[in-house]
Amino acid sequence: MTSPSNPDALFLTYKDLISVRSPRDLFSLLQSKEINPQKIVELLNYENELQKLQIELVKLQCWVQEKKRRVAILFEGRDAAGKGGAIRRFTEHMHPRALRVVAWPKPTEEEVGQWYFQRYTCQLPNRGEIVFFDRSWYNRAVVESVNGFCAPEQYEQFIRQVTEYKHRLYEDSVTLIKFWFLISKEEQK
């Protein structure tokens, strides 16, 4: 929406809406309030599509429970790229008893001394469960190595082990779904 000279113009009242008798009236009302009708149409389309996708997610969750499957959904990407918001939208209508959301703080001293994948392994889904990871083991390659939070040897060890780790998850019937979020610095602002 554009910034109107009158901030109160952004609001539609009940009185405004009952005066609308046609699409043309609605369009005129929105223009008079300096509200971009295209933005409203985009928002309505987004909400409509989101509802359809959330229904499919509930169906997926029912299937996972019925078939006793194990599903890990990984959300990776830049800080403030929308991972947390996306996870909230994904889980909004799902049954909380058959899902978990896992987001880690910085590793503890004890975790730093363990095998790198250990903290992630203990959070993998149980039968009939979906786990949403707000960042995962890929953090070592994407964030830690880029920002100097791990030594080059730790990064090299990760690169050698990650393929085998993924293969073991596959062999153990864990389904991995990965999302990468990337937005520009302007969009982040």
**So where are the chain's domains?**
37-188
| Mean of the per-residue pLDDT values of the chain | 89
Question: What distances in angstroms separate CA 106 from CA 30, 83, 93, 112, one per listed residue?
Answer: 48, 17, 30, 10
Task: Name the least confident of 21-35, 123-137, 170-184.
Answer: 21-35
Integer Cα distance of 24 and 20 in angstroms: 8
Contact by Cβ (8 Å): 78, 185: no
Q: In this predicted structure, what is the pLDDT of residue 69?
A: 98
| Residue 66 clears pLDDT 80, i.e. is over it | yes
| Residue 78 clears pLDDT 90, i.e. is over it | no
Contact by Cβ (8 Å): 29, 12: yes
Report which DSSP code applies to 9.
G
Q: For residue 181, what are the β-bridge partners?
A: 77
Integer Cα distance of 152 and 87 in angstroms: 31
Integer Cα distance of 101 and 72 in angstroms: 10
Contact by Cβ (8 Å): 120, 106: no
Q: In this predicted structure, what is the pLDDT of residue 30?
A: 86
Reported confidence tier of residue 10, pLDDT bands at 50, 70, 90 = low
Q: In this predicted structure, what is the pLDDT of residue 90?
A: 95
86-108 average pLDDT score? 93
Pick the CATH number of 37-188 from 3.40.50.300, 3.40.630.30, 3.20.10.10, 3.20.20.140: 3.40.50.300
Percent pLDDT > 90 in the chain is: 58
28-53 average pLDDT score? 87
Look at residues 10, 16, 14 and name the one whose alpha carbon lies nearest to residue 29: 16
First to last CA, the chain: 16
| Residue 4 clears pLDDT 50, i.e. is over it | no
